[in-house]
């Protein structure tokens, strides 16, 4: 009998173990991608429809992580995992005794839970600029084109320029291809968006071909190129960072032969440098499922077989927020915002009805409200926060009706938090709103099958209030007979 019990216990443990493995696999491998605005939760859709109306060639993919929202926040709200500058207000910082203002890195401290919630809720950033933290960074033949690459390169010496380079002996070699051609082919080879590669080259080496990382003329590293400054770690030596990057281009800084073969090292031609560097960029994050800036910061989806929340490229909790605006500005300057682009936007289970607000927004500056209001001016901006410094979500005009869900009582300029008729939640300057007066009852019609009732008999009263807008008044029935149940 005891032996049987032990077998049952062992079998139970095995079953529990299998069950736990299944849960872990569910958390890491069960994400689902669905294309189209209609496949997003309702709280996402109005913002995406607003963007789609302005940019009809933009595509939106819902990444259902199948992760519980509170579980995700708990995993990210661990000391040292997300940082903010020390000079930020306490609303942004972890104020736990013993952890408050402890510099995890020079000038950087642990962030507050509210900061993590705000930065992780995608709905806070579904506006024209910040959505670029969700831009797909994988190669996509349906959206990536040579014409757009050239537009990104416009204003630099790479634009529409035939490739030439120096070999180790100082000989000049010309190719029959342009930089845009090499970047497009590098994207195809590495499975990385060539738009991302072109933007990154501009960011890393600037607009000039004479940059030391790609000139091929640095003493000791002649004929070597590093377009993405991979391995260019800081050094006190003059040109130390550049030399470190060129050392990587030369031998991978002691990397194995397999690694060097994978990344096409040495980077002794511009094509090898552009393509090999792209393979390096893709293999680190983009090709393991972390193919947006958001997913590189918040590891809620990857193909590494578990251990989510560990493979994170940066600790600055606001990095996706900041980098998205830089990308937007670059695309705007290049004139390509109307081009086809794809955005991959995470969705979590059990998300709050209203996204966590920016930690700079003081909850004490508002009182809960449910008043019907309308806009009293034309071309009024609805913003992501109560100030003109916040991003614009949309514009409304005179007569537009909405619901004020929080009334501002700030000192100075006052802003209200509103829900538009299409579901968008944002902030409007209080001067531009007028309360809708309660509609007065003009007429009440009461009908009944007949006016005579026998004792114990039941009849239904039908009441119609006009106009319809006043029908939300409470109806109270009474009788002139003091013993009638109507008066109870």
Regarding whether 323 and 216 lie in a shared domain, the answer is no
Could you tell me what percent of the chain has a pLDDT over 90?
78
Instruction: Average the pLDDT over 41-58 and give the result.
Output: 98
The answer to whether position 369 is within a domain reads yes
One domain for residues 41 and 79? yes
* Domain end call among 263, 288, 313: 288
Q: Which structural domain, as residue segments, surrounds residue 475?
A: 443-487
* Residue 170 and residue 281 in one domain: yes
Is residue 253 domain-shared with residue 271, that is, in the same domain? yes
| 356: in domain | no
**253: in domain:** yes
Q: Are residues 191 and 104 in the same domain?
A: no
Residues belonging to the chain: 488
Asked if residue 355 is part of any domain, the answer here is no
CA dist list (Å): 31 to 61, 62, 231, 348: 12, 10, 33, 10
In this structure, the strands spanning 58-68 and 341-349 are parallel
Vertex 408, ends 419 and 412: CA angle to 5°? 135
| Residue that is written with structure tokens 């029908």 in the block | 471
Whether residues 372 and 421 share a domain: the answer is yes
Residues 181 and 252 in one domain: yes
**Segment 196-224 mean pLDDT:** 96
Residues 203 and 244 in one domain: yes
Domains in the chain, number: 5
In this structure, the answer to whether residues 87 and 214 fall within a common structural domain is no
Establish if 171 belongs to a structural domain.
Answer: yes
Q: What is the pLDDT of residues 59-112, one digit of tens each?
A: 999 999 999 999 999 999 999 999 999 999 999 999 999 999 999 989 999 999
**49 and 121 both lie in a single domain:** yes
- Would you say residue 230 lies in a domain? yes
DSSP symbols for 73-124: HHHH-STTSSEEETTS-GGGB---TTTTT-EEETTEEEBPHHHHHHHH-GGG
Task: Judge if 150 and 283 occupy the same domain.
Answer: yes
409 and 309 co-located in one domain? no
Residue 439's pLDDT band (cuts 50, 70, 90): low
Position 237 in a domain: yes
Does residue 358 belong to any structural domain of this protein?
no
Predicted model pTM:
0.80
Q: From 288, 307, 332, give the residue that closes a domain.
A: 288
pLDDT at 328: 95
Inform me whether the pLDDT recorded for 456 exceeds 80: no
Tokens representing 72 are 């995700």
d(CA 267, CA 278): 12
């Amino acid at each position: 009998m005891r032996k049987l019990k032990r077998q049952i216990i062992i079998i139970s443990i095995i079953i529990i173990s299998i069950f736990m493995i299944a849960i872990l696999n569910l958390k890491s491998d069960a994400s689902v991608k669905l294309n189209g605005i209609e496949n997003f939760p309702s709280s996402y859709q109005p913002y995406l429809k607003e963007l789609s109306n302005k940019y009809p060639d933009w595509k939106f993919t819902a990444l259902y992580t199948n992760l519980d929202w509170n579980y995700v926040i708990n995993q990210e709200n661990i000391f040292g995992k997300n940082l903010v500058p020390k000079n930020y207000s306490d609303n942004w910082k972890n104020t736990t005794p013993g952890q408050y203002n402890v510099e995890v890195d020079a000038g950087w401290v642990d962030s507050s839970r509210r900061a993590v919630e705000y930065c992780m809720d995608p709905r806070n950033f579904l506006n024209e600029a910040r959505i670029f933290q969700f831009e797909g960074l994988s190669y996509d033949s349906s959206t990536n084109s040579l014409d757009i690459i050239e537009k990104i390169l416009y204003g630099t010496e790479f634009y529409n320029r035939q490739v030439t380079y120096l070999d180790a002996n100082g000989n000049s070699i010309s190719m029959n291809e342009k930089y845009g051609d090499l970047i497009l082919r590098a994207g195809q080879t590495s499975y990385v968006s060539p738009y991302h590669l072109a933007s990154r080259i501009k960011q890393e080496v600037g607009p000039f071909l004479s940059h030391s990382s790609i000139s091929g003329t640095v003493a000791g590293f002649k004929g070597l190129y590093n377009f993405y400054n991979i391995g260019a770690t800081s050094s006190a030596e003059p040109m130390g960072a550049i030399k470190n990057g060129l050392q990587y281009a030369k031998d991978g800084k002691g990397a194995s032969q397999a690694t060097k073969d994978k990344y096409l090292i040495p980077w002794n031609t511009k094509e090898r440098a552009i393509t090999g560097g792209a393979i390096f960029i893709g293999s680190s994050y983009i090709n393991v499922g972390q193919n947006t800036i958001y997913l590189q910061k918040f590891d809620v989806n990857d193909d590494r077989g578990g251990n989510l929340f560990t493979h994170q490229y940066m600790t600055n909790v606001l990095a996706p927020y900041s980098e998205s605006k830089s990308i937007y500005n670059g695309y705007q300057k290049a004139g390509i915002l109307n081009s086809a682009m794809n955005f991959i936007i995470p969705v979590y289970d059990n998300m709050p009805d209203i996204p966590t607000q920016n930690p700079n927004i003081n909850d004490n500056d508002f009182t809960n409200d449910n008043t019907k209001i309308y806009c009293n001016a034309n071309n009024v901006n609805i913003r992501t926060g109560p100030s003109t410094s916040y991003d614009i979500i949309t514009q409304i005009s005179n007569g537009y009706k909405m619901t004020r869900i929080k009334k501002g009582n700030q000192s100075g300029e006052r802003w209200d938090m509103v829900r538009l008729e299409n579901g968008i939640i944002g902030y409007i300057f209080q001067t531009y709103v007028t309360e809708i007066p309660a509609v007065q009852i003009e007429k009440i019609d009461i009908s009944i099958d007949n006016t005579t009732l026998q004792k114990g008999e039941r009849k239904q009263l039908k009441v119609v209030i006009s106009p319809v807008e006043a029908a939300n008044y409470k109806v109270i029935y009474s009788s002139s007979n003091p013993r009638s149940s109507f008066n109870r």
